[in-house]
Chains A and B, each alone.
Chain A
Amino acid sequence: MSTPVRLVLIAAVLSAPWLITALGWRPSYLLQIATLLPIMMIASLSETVIAGFGGQISVGQAGFMAVGAYATALLVGSAGWPWLPSILGGVVATVIVAGAVGVPALRLRGPYFVMATLAFGGIAYTVATNWIDVTGGPSGLRNLEPPDFESLGIHPDHGTFYIVWLVCFAAIALVAWFRETLLGRSLLAVREDELAAAAVGIHVALVKSLSFMFSGGLAGLSGALLPLFVGIVTPDTFGTNQSLQILAQVLIGGMELISGAIVGTVLLLVVNELLRDFAEYQLLAFGLIMLGVILFFPRGVVGELRARRAASGKRRP
């Protein structure tokens, strides 16, 4: 991303709450969408790491979001911790769970790995629904006190908005950094040729496990921000639908690119909101969009545009 584009984006985010108020059209609804967006972007980035960089598609990312969300909510609600350490605690908990899931699951490849992540997502959902003593069951964990923005003179909704965007920008920078580390490069090599990677001395299992934990930690971070935003955690947020939504976001934007995750999340969120009033057609439209992307943008919207631009650049003398 070029510097001017970045500056425009940052300016847009900074001024968004005022713009939304000035616009005067359903301001609280618009602000809600604008706050959900960065949280979903972080979830998409977690899929970019494991599926885009690592070549192992996960349909269980919502399970990691659940771990992050519940751990954070428990730390805030039951343990009475402040939000910041609670969110960090949620991320740490998710990284540990991702390690426990990843080490056995990453022995599997292709469809078998996909099945393992699907199973993990299902288990996480089931535990959240049924372990009533801890998770509150179907009605979830409620009455979480938001941080005290008002004493700082900030509207609570605006405060949350800025925090999640700040975390989102940090997550984008973190994933960009990860890609350039030895781990990120090794992961790309493993995706390309696992046998050759091992033959040159790369500890394939370690590279995959650490990357999976990094990806899980990002999903956990995304989940940990949800209770901050909505004040409650309920299991229905973390079903397989959510995992599929996350996968669709990166597929639409472009799996291997950070910008693909960002653009894909925006596109899918907009489509979802536009179709909200036509619930019976939502799945149909969703299917048509996916079909269109697969047919016309097999590398995702951003991936395809980039490839075309590179191709036309080459043709020019």
Chain B
Amino acid sequence: MSAVFEVRGLVKRFEGLRAVNALDLDIPSGQITSLIGPNGAGKTTVFNMLSGITRPDAGRISLAGQDVTGLASWQMARAGVCRTFQNPRLFWNLTVRENVAIAIQQERSLLREMYALFFAGRRYVEEAGALLALVGLEDCADWPASRLSYGHMRRLEIARALAGSAKIIMVDEPVAGMNPSEVDELMRLLDTVRQRGLAVLLIEHNMRLVLNISDRVIVLSSGTKIAEGTPAEIRVDPLVIEAYLAS
């Protein structure tokens, strides 16, 4: 299994604090890889660097063999690295459909892009419909995003991340604050995304759920990778047990 997303020697310092320390990651397509670790381990910081929101202090990121280190956030998204946020950040005044439609834009040349911005809205709105059907939100397509239930907001964020040409989707604590049936639905959705051949990188604190759904698990503690393996291996890893007991 070759990795679609390769990260080598990723470093981020915040005023002396090493939030992420020489991290290597290999994220394969068609699999769910989970990134776990105690609070403050650096998980969200990794997402911020991989999505171009925070600039790494060192390291190399490559996507499908292409070096994408240092790209701006919108360029990362267009290259195929898409994400959700730990707290949903939707466009609350836009409709559900519009939230997805505006995330589809990814013309390659400036002229084409300008043309699309002025004249191709309808095409994008149609494409948005298919993604909404995938995540089961087609019935509330014309609601303002702010009217969605919490579980549906999470799903809309995932639909928005899938828009365009996502190759890897990074999901930051998607089930926090959800009730058990919402959790089940979301897990099924992530499984669908995996079956479509995308790489999924999941941050999650709920261990039962992580061990259940993941193909591989990476454990981060104080910015350093302390373990990596299948759920069965991680469950019995003494370093992991120690890190979780210590926190």
Binding site for B on A (CB under 8 A): 180-183, 185-186, 188-189, 192-193, 195-204, 206-207, 210
Whether the pair A203, B113 counts as a contact (CB closer than 8 A) is: yes
Q: Given the known A-B contacts A182-B102, A196-B85, are A188 and B93 also in contact in the complex, defined by CB atoms under 8 Å? A: yes
Bound CA–CA A192/B102 (angstroms): 13
Residue B164 lies at the interface, judged by CB distance under 8 Å to chain A: yes
- Residues in chain B near residue A204, CB distance under 8 A: 74
User: B121: CB under 8 A from chain A?
Assistant: yes
Contact with A along B197-208 (1 / 0, CB 8 A): 000000000000
Residue pair A202, B105 in contact (C-beta under 8 Å): yes
What 8 A-B pairs have minimum CB-CB distances, sorted nearest first?
A: A201-B77, A200-B103, A183-B117, A196-B89, A198-B73, A182-B121, A189-B91, A198-B74
Query: In the complex, are the beta carbons of B105 and A186 less than 8 A apart?
Result: yes
B53, B72, B73, B116 — which one has the most chain A CB atoms within 10 A of its CB? Answer: B73
Q: How far is the CB of A192 from chain B (nearest CB, A)?
A: 5
Q: Does B14 contact A (CB under 8 A)?
A: no
Establish whether residues A185 and B121, one from each chain, have CB atoms under 8 Å apart when the complex forms.
yes
8 A Cβ contacts from B34-88 to A:
51-53, 72-74, 77-78, 82-83, 85
Work out how many contacts link A and B, with CB atoms closer than 8 A: 94
Listed A/B pairs (10) with beta-carbon separation below 8 Å: A185-B121, A188-B93, A192-B91, A197-B74, A198-B72, A199-B53, A200-B160, A201-B78, A204-B74, A206-B117
Question: How distant is the Cα of A200 from the Cα of B120 in the complex, in angstroms?
Answer: 18
Cross-chain contact B113 with A185 (CB below 8 angstroms): no
Nearest B residue to A177, CB-CB: B118
Closest-CB distance, A56 to chain B (whole angstroms)? 16
Closest to A199 in B: B73
Question: Closest chain B residue to A184 by CB distance?
Answer: B121
Q: Of A188, A193, A199, which is in contact with the most chain B CB atoms at under 10 Å from its CB?
A: A199
Residues of B within 8 A of A192 (CB): 91-94
A residues near B102, Cβ cutoff 8 Å: 182, 185-186, 189, 197, 200, 202
Which residues on A sit within 8 Å (CB–CB) of B120? 182
B106–A181 CB distance below 8 A: no
Task: Tell me the minimal C-beta distance from B12 to chain A in angstroms.
Answer: 17
Would you call A195 and B101 a contact (CB within 8 A)? Answer: no
- In contact, B114 and A210 (Cβ under 8 angstroms): yes
Within 8 A of A (CB), among B174-219: none
Smallest CB separation, A256 vs chain B (Å):
9
CB pair B117–A199 under 8 Å, yes or no, is no
What's the least CB distance linking A297 to chain B, in Å?
20
Interfacial chain B residues near A200, Cβ < 8 Å: 77, 82, 102-103, 160-161, 163-164
B101 and A185 contacting across the interface, CB-CB below 8 Å? yes
The answer for the CA separation of A192 and B92 in the assembled complex, in Å, is: 8
Give bound CA distance, A111 to B164, whole Å. Answer: 34
- Nearest CB of chain B from residue A199's CB, rounded to whole Å: 5
> In chain A, what residue has the closest Cβ to B118?
A181
Q: Does the CB pair A195–B73 fall under 8 Å?
A: yes
Known pairs A202-B102, A202-B103, A206-B113; A182 contacts B73 (CB<8 A): no
Report the minimal beta-carbon distance from B55 to chain A, rounded to whole angstroms: 14
Residues of B within 8 A of A210 (CB): 114, 117
> Across the two chains, which residue of chain A brings its CB closest to B120?
A182
Q: Is B124 an interface residue (CB 8 A)?
A: yes
> Measured between C-beta atoms, what is the minimum distance from A287 to chain B in Å?
32
Docked pose: A191 CA to B120 CA in angstroms: 21
**Which of chain A's residues has its CB closest to B51's CB?**
A199
Which chain B residues border A183 with CB–CB below 8 Å?
A: 117-118
Q: Kindly report which residue of chain B lies nearest to residue A193, judged by CB atoms.
A: B89
Cα-based distance from A210 to B110 in the complex (angstroms): 12
Tell which of B53, B92, B106, B119 touches A201, judged by Cβ atoms closer than 8 Å: B106
Q: Which residues of chain B are within 8 angstroms of A189 by Cβ–Cβ distance?
A: 91, 94, 99, 102
Contact of B74 among A188, A193, A202 (CB under 8 A): A202
How far does the Cβ of B149 sit from chain A's closest Cβ, in whole Å?
18
**Complex: chain B residue closest to A194, CB-CB:** B73
**Which of A182, A186, A204 has the most chain B CB atoms closer than 10 A to its own CB?**
A182
What separation, in Å, do the CA atoms of A237 and B31 have in the docked complex?
65
Q: Is the CB of B124 within 8 A of A182?
A: yes
Closest to A178 in B: B118
Residue on B nearest A196 in the bound complex, by CB: B89
| A315 vs B157: C-alpha distance when bound (angstroms) | 31
Q: How far is A199 from B161 in the complex, measured between Cα atoms in Å?
A: 9
Query: Which residues of the partner chain A approach B72 to less than 8 Å between Cβ atoms?
Result: 198
Given known A-B contacts A182-B124, A189-B102, A195-B53, A201 and B91 have beta carbons under 8 A apart: no
